[in-house]
Each structure stands twice: as C-alpha cells, then as structure tokens.
Amino acid sequence: MKKRIIVFDTTLRDGEQSPGASMSVEQKTRIAEILENLGVDRIEAGFPVSSPVQFEAVRGIAAVLKKTTVAGLARCRSGDIDAAARALETGKFPMLHLFIATSPLHRKFKLKMNRGQVIEEIVKNLEYARKYFDLIEFSAEDASRTEPDFLAEVVAVAIASGAKVINIPDTVGYAVPAEFGRSIARLRQAVPELRQVQLSVHCHNDLGLALANSIAALENGADQVEVTLNGIGERAGNCSLEELVMTLKVRADLLPFSTGVVSELLYPASKSLQSITGLILPRNKPIFGDNAFVHESGIHQDGVIKHRETYEIMRPADIGRRVESLAMGRHSGKHSFKEKLKQYDIKLSPEQFEKAFAQFTCLADQKKEVFDEDILSIINAVLGHYHCGCRLVYFHVATGKDQIPAATVKLRLEKQEFLAAATGDGPVDALFKAIDQALNIETRLLNYIVQAIGWGKDAQGQVQVEIEKDGLVYFGKGLSTDIIKASALAYLQAYNSAVLHVAKIKNKENKNESRSVVAG
C-alpha cells in the first residue's frame, strides 16, 4: 500500500523570489490554475504583506481556485497575519504559513532573540493566527542548522499552540540526505505529538541535494514535500515538482509513495512557466531539458531504436511531451489556434483571445513556422500586460564595420512624444543611451540576455534586461523577430516598472500622510 503524500507547491512564493521570475497578478493566477489542474494539493500563492502585487495575487488566486488549498506566508507579526487573513478571506480552502527562524545564527544576527523569546513569539502568534485560520503550517526557518533539542522544543510548542502542519526547511541547502533523513526520524521520536499533525519538508538545492533530501525525509516519515515547478527558487532553487513526481513514479518499486499529480500534464505546465518567467531551462535539466530524451552516441541511438527501454527510464509521453509538436503557420485558423491553447490549458477571455490571435497572425506573416514557444510568448504578452507607461513609437539603428553605431528613438508617454539620438559601443548600447536621453534618466544596465524562442533562422529573439535605478533593480522582457526591437521593448518595460514602483511608493506616502492628518 502506497502512502499518499501531500504536494505543497511554492512556485508562486519561493519560486517567484528567483531573480527575474517576478510575475504579474494575471500571470500568477494563470500558473495557479495550471498547478491546480496538475493536481498539487496546496499552493503557496505569495507573501501578502510584502507588496500590493503579492497581496492582490494571493487574493485573486484564492478566489479563483476550486479544490486546492491556497496558502499565504506570514512572519510572526500580527500585521503579516492580518494581511494574509484579508488576502485569503474569499478562498475556499485557506491556509496560513507562519514562520520564524530558529537556528543560532538567525537568532543571534537576524532576530536578536534568545531561545525563550523565539518560543514566546511562536506561542503568541499562533494564538493570534488561530482566530482567522483552522489550517496553519508552522515553519522553523533554517531548521537543518538548529540545535536538535531546541528544534524538538519548538515543534512541540507549535503543535500545542495549534499548528496542523510542521515544516522543516533546509533553508540554505546545507543538509545531506542521510543526515537529513536521520534528523526527521529523530524529531518524530522526540516529539510523539507529531503523529497528530502533518510533517513537511522544504529543501533547497544549493548542493544539488534538494530532491535527495526530500526523498530521505519521506523515507523517514515526512507527509508533505514542498516543491516548485522547474525547481525555481531562491539562489539554486527548490526541490523540483517534476523530479519528485517522476522519481516516485519511476522508482515505485523502491519508494512506496504516491502523489495526486497528473504527470502527463507536467511538460506543458513547465513550458508555460518558462515562457512567463523567461527562465529557460538548461538543455540537460532532468525531465524537462531539451536533451532529456535525446540520444546522441551511435551505440545509444542503436539501442533505443531496437528497444527504447535500453537507455530510457521513462517515456516522453509520461510527462506529456510530444515529440512531434506541430508548428503552426499563416494558414492556421482560429480553430487550430484554439486547439493549441487547449493543449496548454490556457483560458482567455474573448477579448484576450482576439488580441492573441491578431498577434499570432501578425507573427505568422513574418516567419514561416510559429512554434509553441512563440504562441506561449504571445499569450504571456497578452496576459502580462504590464501597465503601458512609455511606449516605443519608432526606432532606427545604424551599425556596420568601421562605423560608429548610432540610434534614434521616438517614445510616447500619454500624449507627449520624446525624440533622441545617441551613439554607443554597439547598436544596443546606442539604443539604450538614446532611450535614456529621451526620458532624461540615468540607469545602470546590470544584465542583458538574448535567447532564441523556437527554432530556425527566423526564430524570435527574447531579450531580458535588468537595470538599476536609484539603488533598486528592475526587470524587463521584450520579444520580437528583430532583437534590437526586442531590446528596446525589454528596456522600456524595465523602465516602466521602475516608474510604476516610484508612483506606488508616492501614493502610499500620500495616503499615510492623509491618514496621519486625519488621526492627527
């Protein structure tokens, strides 16, 4: 008899914390729907108190999901708990994820609290949270570097104070499998009350051991594993959903655990997430990488042709990967476009559909074959729909051997137009300088990445930029068959999000001011 484990997905919280992975509310909602369809049990939708976008995303997701538990993160602070409660009030199955750091390093340098004070905080905040929530998960942050006796005390106190799920995170990805497994077994022995609640683990991949540690924890009695799709997350990422699901499936002979995840939906889900975040997976990534089912050496090819199992432990179809994904073209009509959306479980409003289809036909006119990746990027642009802000009206770039690269741009912000020209080290440099001049701004370019989306010489280029403005970092993405245009779009998106951020802060300050006047 297999034990049905709980899959807690934190793609939208821990995953979204990866540099470059931030998503709009609409994009997060889309991913949440995909994850629900995939069959994960719990979705951590965000950290409501941390920003208005996070709050709205958690609220929107909680309102939309039909069968999945939606969790919001909170520190041991009443303001955090209040925000999570407000964000989740419309949800069918709300859950609070409350955490505090417990390791000596975190206690001393981050919290400046001793053991007793940490315990007090846990009791006080769990009590406070219980007035809103029935289902509360408590996490002892940096548990794997916490003294075992203190961790046991923390866990016992959290259970006595009403936590229904106890999560043991390897926050910094420091544990190794045998050690982590032993610590889970020891904890279960030391705290018999754990039998009345669910025991969870949350492993990071700094040493590439997140999956191995999670499996070791399951073998030692864990009931829940926290994961992210594509393994995205802080630093080197989290235990990846697809690796966990497929390991349990492929090694069912050894591992007596099952999940509710429909593995055949994994690959389209991964593609959607890659398209939305722009975090494209390396070719050799387990399960999802482009090379995961490619056999190069002659001996391997020969073996696979004779009998696939000689070199394949799973089939592409097991994860919903179609080898012959049909490319679309200018003759593909609305019907086949709709079919394609269905394949990726994409739901659009009629208005969004028309917009996406118009962009698709436009692209199909420019390139011979339109690949799934292209379509996902179009959908992403339609859904992403960052606030418009400053728009590109016109650009011209001149470059060549023994020439000084020069760029001219015309931008529009509401009814005003800005025109500027500049030279640079290369066409992109000249273009960015011209944009800076037109908008009279100063930014520092931290990162610039160009990636081909799809295949062939006419593939679209996706450009991602990371800029620093007034000490803060902003991201932007642009997509076009012309990489110079994609660069301009990406740069403007980053600039627009910087402007939006400043506007929000000002708005908040104004509100606070007016509030203090009223309170006054």
| E strand segments, 228-341 | 257-258
Between 168 and 356, CB nearer to Zn ion: 168
CB contact at 8 A, 415 and 518: no
Work out how close the CB of 221 gets to Zn ion at its nearest, in angstroms, rounded to a whole number.
21
Between 14 and 243, CB nearer to Zn ion: 14
The pair of structure tokens assigned to 261 is: 């995840």
Work out how close the CB of 170 gets to Zn ion at its nearest, in angstroms, rounded to a whole number.
9
Between 204 and 485, CB nearer to Zn ion: 204
Between 14 and 466, CB nearer to Zn ion: 14
CB contact at 8 A, 457 and 474: no
With contacts defined by CB under 5 A, name the span among 8-16, 64-72, 301-309, 396-404 that binds Zn ion.
Answer: 8-16
CB contact at 8 A, 162 and 112: no
Q: What number of chain residues touch Zn ion (CB under 5 A)?
A: 1
With contacts defined by CB under 5 A, name the span among 10-18, 113-121, 304-312, 512-520 that binds Zn ion.
Answer: 10-18
The residue length of the chain stands at 520
With contacts defined by CB under 5 A, name the span among 12-20, 249-257, 324-332, 381-389 that binds Zn ion.
Answer: 12-20
Work out how close the CB of 10 gets to Zn ion at its nearest, in angstroms, rounded to a whole number.
7
DSSP track, 445-508: EEEEEEEEESSSTTPEEEEEEEEEETTEEEEEEEEESSHHHHHHHHHHHHHHHHHHHHHHHHHH
Between 14 and 318, CB nearer to Zn ion: 14
Work out how close the CB of 139 gets to Zn ion at its nearest, in angstroms, rounded to a whole number.
9
Distance CA 3, CA 11 (A): 24
Work out how close the CB of 136 gets to Zn ion at its nearest, in angstroms, rounded to a whole number.
18
Work out how close the CB of 211 gets to Zn ion at its nearest, in angstroms, rounded to a whole number.
14
Q: Name residues contacting Zn ion, limited to 70-99 (CB under 5 A).
A: none
Work out how close the CB of 319 gets to Zn ion at its nearest, in angstroms, rounded to a whole number.
25
With contacts defined by CB under 5 A, name the span among 7-15, 73-81, 373-381, 410-418 that binds Zn ion.
Answer: 7-15
Phi, psi angles (nearest 5°) of residue 181: -60, -45
Between 14 and 80, CB nearer to Zn ion: 14
Between 201 and 498, CB nearer to Zn ion: 201
Number of C-beta neighbours around residue 292 at 10 A? 18
With contacts defined by CB under 5 A, name the span among 11-19, 120-128, 361-369, 377-385 that binds Zn ion.
Answer: 11-19
Work out how close the CB of 144 gets to Zn ion at its nearest, in angstroms, rounded to a whole number.
12
Work out how close the CB of 176 gets to Zn ion at its nearest, in angstroms, rounded to a whole number.
18
Work out how close the CB of 453 gets to Zn ion at its nearest, in angstroms, rounded to a whole number.
29
Cα R_g (the chain), whole angstroms: 25
Number of C-beta neighbours around residue 154 at 10 A? 23
With contacts defined by CB under 5 A, name the span among 6-14, 100-108, 246-254, 442-450 that binds Zn ion.
Answer: 6-14
Between 203 and 292, CB nearer to Zn ion: 203
The DSSP secondary-structure symbol of 311 reads: T
Distance CA 201, CA 167 (A): 5
Between 227 and 265, CB nearer to Zn ion: 227
Distance CA 258, CA 323 (A): 27
Q: Nearest residue to Zn ion, using CB?
A: 14
Please give the angle made by the CA atoms of 492, 234 and 36, to the nearest 5 degrees: 85
**Burial call 343-363: b when 16+ CB within 10 Å, e when fewer:** ebbbebeeebbebbbebbeeb
CB contact at 8 A, 97 and 135: no
Between 57 and 439, CB nearer to Zn ion: 57
Helix (H, G, I), strand (E, B) or coil at 380: helix
Work out how close the CB of 226 gets to Zn ion at its nearest, in angstroms, rounded to a whole number.
8
Between 14 and 242, CB nearer to Zn ion: 14
Question: Per 3-state DSSP, what percentage of the chain is helix, strand, and coil (rounded to 5)?
Answer: 45, 20, 30
Binder of Zn ion out of 6, 9, 11, 14 (CB under 5 A): 14
Between 14 and 374, CB nearer to Zn ion: 14
Cβ neighbours of residue 270 under 8 Å, at least 6 residues apart? Answer: 229, 230, 242, 281, 288
Work out how close the CB of 233 gets to Zn ion at its nearest, in angstroms, rounded to a whole number.
6
String marking each residue 432-471 x if it binds Zn ion according to CB under 5 A: ----------------------------------------
CB contact at 8 A, 235 and 173: yes
Burial class of 327 by CB neighbour count within 10 A (0 to 12, 13 to 18, 19+) = middle
Binding region for Zn ion (CB under 5 A): 14
